[in-house]
Amino acid sequence: MITYHNPVHAQHQGKLEMFRGALVPCFEVPDRVEHVLKALQRRPFGPILAPEAFDDSFLATIHPTRYLDFLKGAWAEWVALDPTHAARDALPSVWPVRTLRSDVLPANFAARMGLFSMDAGTPLTSGTWAAARAGADCALSAATAVAGGARSAFALTRPPGHHAGADFFGGYCFLNNAALAAQHLRDQGFARVAVLDIDYHHGNGTQAIFYEHPDVFFASIHGDPSTEYPFYLGYADECGAGAGLGANLNLPLPRGSDFVTWSGALTHGLAAIARFGAQALVVSLGVDTFVGDPISGFTLRSTDYSQVGARIASANLPTVFVFEGGYAVAEVGLNVVNVLQGFVQAA
């Protein structure tokens, strides 16, 4: 398995996020990737490469230009408002909720921050664009490798991506790496692609991007959104719309679910992907399903992740893995590499 590592991911390093009514140190930290990288170096099963550089036109297959333009220039605008802003990150404070307009692009920076965001827990920093942009290159490079005949490839990057919608950031995510990989596989000739999201938190951005697409199947196993972030998407009755009706499968589980319960949902998801007739697979690889994760609620253990990888390999599809969540930092490397090694050994 080829791993594409984001060499500038640490340029995005948020200071504080809003969590349960308080500003707290960010859970999404650079050490997450560094622990995975060290684990890969201890148990090597393929090369670790820098990503290929892709043109912004590839990003535009998923994200509209006005959103990309905002992300590119947001930090400079933030500091231009007040030079002291350079010492603190930007967080949104106002949003265009129901009855308010979102079609007009405001001149006010705070208004545009709110227009293009979904929460107050995703700080925008001086290096956010550079890190997210290189992360997209990792996902596109992994998809290119798989389209070229590789059995599998891994995009090791942060910030993560699956909560980012076509035109908004949130949930620590700015560009949707899994969606970019899936669309790139489609554009390179795979008629039907599936995205399997195994992060604890529902991949609302990925679902919304492909909700009316008949050629990309989205399946997600996640915490029940009635109690778990992102709250407003991820329910079992969301099955796709229009031409995409039937190409969306949500498998929400209650907080406290163990590996036996979770594994049953995986069986259901993989069977649905097989019925869809997918020719390639993208896995949003979150390991915040781990029993020790500080902001999640499942009880998977490190040894379980090897079985997860082997089960995914049983789909017998060319597979792109994209790193998402996992906030028990000391264990995140072990858990991710257990998934990947389980996959490689079974494949």
Catalytic residues: 163
Tell me how far apart the alpha carbons of residues 181 and 177 are, in angstroms, rounded to a whole number.
Answer: 6
What is the rounded distance in angstroms from the CA atom of residue 103 to the CA atom of residue 114? 13
Residue 46 to residue 5: CA distance in whole angstroms: 12
- Virtual torsion, Cα 129, 131, 133, 134, nearest 10 deg: 160
Written as one letter, the residue type at 227 is T
Amino acid at 86: A
The residue behind tokens 């942060």 is 158
Q: What is each CA distance from 56 to 140, 141, 154, 157, 251, in whole angstroms?
A: 11, 14, 21, 18, 34
Name residue, tokens 């994200």: 63
Q: What DSSP character marks residue 291?
A: T
Specify whether the CB–CB gap between 287 and 248 falls below 8 A.
no
How many helices and strands, by DSSP H and E, does the chain display? 10, 10
Angle between helices 304-313 and 259-276 (to 10 degrees): 10
